C-alpha cells in the first residue's frame, strides 16, 4: 500500500514537470534604431500552453491594446511585444512570464534603442516622454498629471462614462493648463483617452467618489466618534473609516 502511494506520487510529479512552462532561450538582447518599429518574441513550451505577461523596466504590466505605442499580442503559441515606434527611453530590461496550471517561469529580455545617426539634435534624446497619471479624484472631477514632449502644444482628450459609452465627451488642453475634467457623474465609471504627438494613452475604470455614501455611526468612546462609510458600484467598492474627536463645552 505504501509503495503504491509513492509510485502514484512519482508519476504525478513526472507529468507535472513535463507540463511546466520552460523557455528554449534564456536571456536575450534586442536592438533597434530610434524611430524604428520593433517586434520582440517570447516563446515557452508547456502543457497546457502557457499564458504570457509582460512587464516593462518600471515593472508596469503591458497590455494588448493596439492604440498604445507599446503593446502585446498573441501569435500562435507565443507572445509578441510590439513597439510601433521606438524612443530612447524604451531601453531597459523587460520581463516575459509564462504561466499555466503547473506554475510560472520568467525571463529577461534586454532592449537597446540606439540613437538615430541622422538626428543631430541631442534634445530629442532626453526629451520628456508622453505620460498621464491621475492626481486627484472627487465626486465630480478628475485631475491629472500630464507630461508631454517639448514639441507638443495641445492635448486632445475624450472620455465617456462606461454605463453610457455612446455619450463621448471631448476637450482640448493647452500645455500648461490645469489638466482637470469637471462636471462628471458621482460614482461614475469613466474611461479617458489622451492624444498627443501621435501617441494615445488610455486610462480605464476611473471610479469617482460617491455623492451621498452610506454612512454608519459605529462607536462613540472617550470623545472619539468612529464613522464608517462605503459605496458599491457594480463590482467596485470604495470605503473608509473616519475618526472624529468631540469637544465638550
Assign residue 144 the CATH number of its domain: 2.60.40.10
The answer to whether 38 and 30 have CB atoms below 8 angstroms apart is yes
Q: Which of 220, 219, 221, 216 is nearest to 239 (CA)?
A: 216
Which residues share a beta bridge with 238?
231
Same-domain check for residues 40 and 67:
yes
pLDDT of residue 181: 92
Determine, yes or no, domain membership for 223. no
Classify residue 51 as left (phi > 0), alpha (psi -120 to 50) or beta: beta
pLDDT of residue 9: 42
Q: How many domains does the chain have?
A: 2
pLDDT of residue 70: 92
Same-domain check for residues 73 and 135:
no
Tell me which residue range forms the domain holding 53.
19-114
3-state helix, strand, coil in the chain (%, to 5): 10, 50, 35
Same-domain check for residues 24 and 101:
yes
Distances (CA, A) of 1 to 4, 8, 9, 12, 17: 5, 11, 13, 17, 25
pLDDT of residue 15: 40
Q: What is the pLDDT along the chain (249 residues), one digit of tens a residue?
A: 444 444 344 434 444 456 888 888 778 889 888 888 999 999 998 888 899 999 998 888 899 988 889 999 998 789 999 999 899 889 888 999 999 888 888 889 999 988 876 655 444 445 677 888 888 888 889 999 888 888 888 899 999 886 556 678 888 888 878 899 999 988 788 888 899 877 888 888 888 877 765 666 666 666 677 766 665 555 555 555 555 555 555
Determine, yes or no, domain membership for 119. no
Determine, yes or no, domain membership for 237. no
Same-domain check for residues 48 and 96:
yes
Same-domain check for residues 105 and 139:
no
pLDDT of residue 3: 44
pLDDT of residue 162: 64
Same-domain check for residues 100 and 176:
no
Same-domain check for residues 35 and 69:
yes
Same-domain check for residues 43 and 86:
yes
CA distance linking residue 148 with residue 175, whole number of Å = 8
Determine, yes or no, domain membership for 200. yes
pLDDT of residue 118: 62
Same-domain check for residues 104 and 135:
no
Q: Count how many residues are written for the chain.
A: 249
Amino acid at each position: 500500500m505504501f509503495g503504491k502511494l509513492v509510485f502514484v506520487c512519482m508519476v504525478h510529479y513526472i507529468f507535472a514537470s513535463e507540463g511546466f512552462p520552460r523557455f528554449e532561450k534564456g536571456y536575450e538582447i534586442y536592438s533597434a534604431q530610434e524611430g524604428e518599429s520593433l517586434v520582440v518574441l517570447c516563446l515557452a513550451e508547456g502543457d497546457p500552453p502557457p499564458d504570457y505577461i509582460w512587464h516593462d523596466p518600471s515593472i508596469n504590466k503591458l497590455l494588448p491594446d493596439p492604440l498604445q505605442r507599446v503593446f502585446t499580442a498573441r501569435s500562435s503559441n507565443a507572445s509578441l511585444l510590439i513597439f510601433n515606434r521606438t524612443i530612447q527611453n524604451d531601453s531597459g530590461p523587460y520581463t516575459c512570464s509564462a504561466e499555466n496550471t503547473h506554475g510560472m517561469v520568467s525571463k529577461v529580455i534586454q532592449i537597446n534603442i540606439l540613437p538615430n545617426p541622422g538626428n543631430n539634435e541631442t534634445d530629442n534624446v532626453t526629451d520628456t516622454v508622453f505620460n498621464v497619471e491621475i492626481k486627484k479624484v472627487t465626486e465630480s472631477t478628475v485631475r491629472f498629471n500630464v507630461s508631454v514632449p517639448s514639441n507638443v502644444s495641445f492635448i486632445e482628450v475624450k472620455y465617456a462614462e462606461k454605463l453610457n459609452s455612446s455619450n463621448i465627451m471631448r476637450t482640448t488642453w493647452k500645455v500648461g493648463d490645469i489638466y482637470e475634467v469637471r462636471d462628471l457623474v458621482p460614482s461614475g465609471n469613466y474611461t479617458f483617452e489622451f492624444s498627443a504627438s501621435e501617441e494615445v494613452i488610455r486610462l480605464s475604470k476611473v471610479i469617482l467618489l460617491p455623492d451621498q455614501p452610506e454612512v454608519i455611526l459605529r462607536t462613540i468612546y472617550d470623545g472619539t466618534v468612529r464613522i464608517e462609510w462605503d459605496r458599491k458600484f457594480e463590482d467596485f467598492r470604495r470605503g473608509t473609516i473616519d475618526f472624529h474627536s468631540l469637544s465638550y463645552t
